[in-house]
Structure 1
Amino acid sequence: MLIPIPTSAFAAILPLILGSAALPTAADKPAAFFLAGDSTTAVQSTGGGGWGNGFLNTTLQSGATGKNYGHNGATTVSFREGGDWATVLSAVKNAKADYTPYVTIQFGHNDQKTDKNISVAQYSANLAQFVADVRDAGGNPILVTPLSRRQYDSAGKIKENLAEQRTATLAVAKDTGALAVDLNRASTDYLNAIGSADAYTYNLNADDYTHLNEAGSVVFGNMVAWLMDESADADVLSQWTVANAEYVQDFKNGVYISP
């Protein structure tokens, strides 16, 4: 059941947007955002937590709705094999009579682990199939590059250990004509700007540099909305999701947002 949700770095950071012709026009039905991904999208819990609920709970407006289907530990393989993907597609089909469905797709954190045995080529193929499936179901896919980990090197800069997955995601967007939001680049730049001490205040637990607490979810959920609002399709997407204006200025200026 869809439950309506109330509304709510640097100037050079812009998402890579491709295939905007496939998106609906401004006159269409309210948006329904279905979030597919791993624990860096998922609801906050003892085992994970991402940007998803912050996005849904603080940025939607004008009758837009959504649901977070992020799954802790998920890969592009397990999300399909475990039945989560079928659930997302069913939600798209059920919503499209009353809403314009969008599906955000963000994976990579677990796909890159050696014990998962998922090559970058397979990861890319799986993302491309997700895009095709969403379109077949009547929805609009949005590929999201993976949220940066808050892991710093000895020089105080973020370790860009998801670079391959970022590049692959953007390449799939280009090849399929899908819309893409470059959260990895934006989050990396913001975390570099604010430094490790402030970045760690977003940790789910003191020593968890991957998952977000509730405050971090709001910050990075608003970052996703900002990137959508700054896209070539802002005339459509900004009707339904709008980032906090003060947060936007802080993203652009690299200013720490306190929980």
Structure 2
Amino acid sequence: MVSFFFFAFKEEQRDITIFMIGDSTMANKNLVGGNPERGWGQMLPGFFTENIRVCNYAKNGRSSKSFIDEGLWDEVISQVRKGDYVFIQFGHNDEKPDELRHTVPGSTFDDNLRRFVKETKEKGGIPVLFNSIVRRNFRNNTNAILEDDAPKVVSAISEHPKEGDILIDTHGEYLNSPRNVAKDLDVVFIDLNRITHDLVEGLGPEKSKELYMWIPQNTVPICPKGKEDNTHLNIYGARVVAKLAVTAISEAIPELEKYVCYYDFVVAKDGSGDFFTIQEAVNAVPDFRKERRTTILLRKGVYKEKLIIPESKINLSLIGQEGAVISGDDYAAKKNRFGENMSTSGSASCYIYAPDFYAENITFENTAGQVGQAVACFVSGDRTTFKRCRFLGNQDTLYTYGRYSRQYYEDCYIEGTVDFIFGWSMAVFNRCIVHSKRNGYVTAPATDRGKAYGYVFFDCNLTADDDVDKVYLSRPWRPYAQAVFIHCNLGKHILAEGWNNWNKKEAEKTVFYAEYENVGEGANPKARASFSRQLENIKDYTVEKILSGDDGWNPTTEIK
């Protein structure tokens, strides 16, 4: 098989690592039993580009003392390289009275923080100190009993003291130690307590429960009796706090600001996002959201789901991080639940009906194999854009379905065997790799009569497996099929005649098959099929002119 290099999917070398050390409010959580608890550090990777690697070593129940005594700090500092960051947040458990964890602010607590800072600097790392996030502790007056951070099981008669309207902080002088050490040692300090205090106070006693582990009875398998926990964050709360933390980090550390990205939703299989599946995230997007584009980040992983993006989810962007894959294995002859063939249209791994859809760095695949028609991506929506995406399959990989759909593919990789780019839509392929896995046909347009354009390929590379040597550029699925290849590099697998009539002699009079200044061993204008043509000029072939329509759409300036 031919080997190829496709820059968009080569994982970049990690330049910067952020190590996180702290307690349960920062830590990664176990996902067993549908556990909705998250530390804010668990959500942090969804706010950075792939140039940043987040290693979260925060642990439940640890204080600065126990983190050192258990050897956890030695494990972290041994990995720190020059230019890496160490985010440090302790306090919740340093307040505990037991001798294995307790430290004293202004004394032993400060000493431990100083050790973290100094040893990080000695390794060429950059320490950043945070103080503790606020506990949700609303009382009637400032002298009321302070709330401990132990979660309470819901009961008929609440064990909590009666809540009031005043948010009272419970951390005392432990909040000042990180600030004082940061000032003395000239390092960045993030006042996450003030940030979260303002957040919780602004939301008030009832609304702020949405951030924390307040769980009604019989709603989550891991805690069937429910829970009232004013210290630990749920998925939503951790995302909100992480976003606030990242905003503060960006302001305090300009070197990290350029790596920060904000998304409306994050999908992650490891629990570091808002949702585990892409469909859940899509369903959460408001219908017909016209004012702003909704962005969804897909973190690394294979998402095996039959994704449907309905017509109401307009202005939606899916951005892939670290090789996100949307995968399915249906095929046309596969039986549905009623014993009927699924059909070509029913075989897709992903359906896109919404207009103004944008995808970047996503792999769309159908893994059914050599079983006939098996679609990886079915695209019907108008003004759809794909950049640096991959479409993997065999027969009928990419179905450009929408009759009135305009589609733009830039720096993409598309592979298949027979008719692996097919359909009615008007589509431009710019700087794409189009790879044939066996002898067959690259495209099968079904362009409607009267359309100005069908498929147009600019500056694309047509490649093939080593044993492939008989491939046509196109055959007409419908009689008015259009396909044009401009400035493309055609491999030796492209047959001299170039074009096939699909045994439809009459279609030779109605198709529009053309080329302009193609190169490579497969470029053979003198031997081409008589019903094709070589263009004399390409003044009518620009992305803007082909796709502008009545609304002036120009995908080369698309904002994701």
2:56 counterpart residue number = 68
Give the counterpart of 1:158 among 164, 167, 171: 167
| The 10-residue stretch of structure 1 (41-50 or 113-122) with the greater mean CA deviation from structure 2 | 41-50
Cα distance in 2 between the residues matched to 1:40 and 1:224: 13
Matching of residue 80 in structure 1 with residue 62 in structure 2: no
* Distance across 1 between alignment mates of 2:50 and 2:114: 31
**Structure 1 runs not aligned, ≥5 long:** 1-28, 247-259
Which piece of structure 1 moves more, 38-47 or 211-220?
38-47
> How far does residue 44 in structure 1 lie from its aligned partner after superposition?
2.4
Query: In the alignment, what sits opposite 2:97?
Result: 114
Distance 1:242 1:128, change over 3 A: farther
What is the DSSP-based 3-state SS (H/G/I as helix, E as strand, rest coil) of the residue aligned with 1:212? strand
Matches within 5 A, 1:94-133: 96=82, 100-115=83-98, 116-120=101-105, 121-133=107-119
Does 1:215 pair with 2:236? Answer: yes
1:39-91 CA-to-partner distances (Å, cap 9, x unmatched) read 011012369642101112x2111511111111000011110111111121122
Q: Of residues 14, 30, 40 in structure 2, which corresponds to 1:51?
A: 40
Identify the residue that residue 256 of structure 2 maps to in structure 1.
Answer: 237
For residue 145 of structure 1, the aligned residue among 118, 131, 138 is 131
* In 2: Cα distance, 1:48 partner to 1:107 partner: 19
CA contact (8 A) 2:65 2:102 kept: no
The CA deviation at 1:243 is 4.7
Q: CA deviation at 1:188?
A: 0.3
The question of whether the paired residues in 1 share the 8 Å contact of 2:139 and 2:167 is answered with yes
User: Separation in 2 of the partners of 1:240 and 1:110?
Assistant: 32
2:11 matches 1:33: no
Q: Whole-Å Cα distance in 2 between the matches of residues 128 and 65 of structure 1?
A: 25
1:228 aligned onto 2:215: no
TM superposition score normalised by structure 2: 0.36
Name the counterpart of 1:170.
179
* In 2, Cα distance between equivalents of 1:241 and 1:222: 10
Give the drift of 1:32.
Answer: 1.3
Higher RCO, Cα 8 Å, sep 6+: 1
SS of the equivalent of 1:142 reads strand
Check whether the contact 2:63–2:102 (CA below 8 A) recurs between aligned residues: no
Go from structure 1 to structure 2 and tell me whether the alpha carbon gap of 1:212 and 1:179 turns closer, same or farther (over 3 Å shift).
same
For 2:70 and 2:171, the matched residues in 1 are separated by 24
From the two aligned structures, give the one with the greater strand fraction. Answer: 2
Q: Distance in 1 between matches of 2:117 and 2:129?
A: 8
CA RMSD of aligned residues (A): 2.2
Q: Secondary structure at the match of 1:166?
A: helix
Asked whether the 8 Å contact 1:39–1:48 carries over to 2, the reply is no
Q: Percent identity?
A: 30
In structure 2, give the amino acid aligned to 1:224: A
Q: 1:128 and 1:39 mapped to 2: Cα distance?
A: 21
Match of 1:42 among 27, 31, 36: 27
| Secondary structure class of the residue paired with 1:228 | helix
Kept in 2: contact 1:53–1:68 (CA 8 A): yes
Q: Give the residue type in structure 2 aligned to 1:193.
A: G
Alignment size in residue pairs = 210
Query: 198-207 or 136-145, which moves further after superposition?
Result: 198-207
Structure 2 counterpart SS, 1:119: coil
Aligned partner of residue 79 in structure 2, secondary structure: helix
The farther-off stretch of 113-122 and 76-85 is 113-122
CA contact (8 A) 2:18 2:84 kept: yes
Matched, 1:136 2:119: no
Deviation (angstroms), 1:135: 1.0
Residue matched to 1:188: 197
Q: Specify the alignment match of 1:9 in structure 2.
A: none
Distance 1:223 1:106 in 2: 15
Structure 2 gap segments, 5+ residues each: 1-13, 141-163, 216-227, 266-560
The 8 Å contact of residues 223 and 243 in structure 1, kept in 2 or not, is answered as: no
Rounded to whole Å, the distance in 2 between the matches of 1:245 and 1:47 is 19
| Aligned amino acid, residue 122 of structure 1 | T
- Greater radius of gyration (CA): 2
Assess if the C-alpha contact under 8 Å between 1:225 and 1:243 holds in 2: no
Change (3 A) 1:78 1:184: same
Q: Distance in 2 between matches of 1:241 and 1:32?
A: 14
Equivalence for 1:21: none
Contact 1:143 1:178 in 2 (8 A): yes
Q: Sort the Cα spacing of 1:156 and 1:31 in 2 relative to 1 into closer, same or farther, 3 A.
A: farther
CA distance in 1, matches of 2:84, 2:67: 19
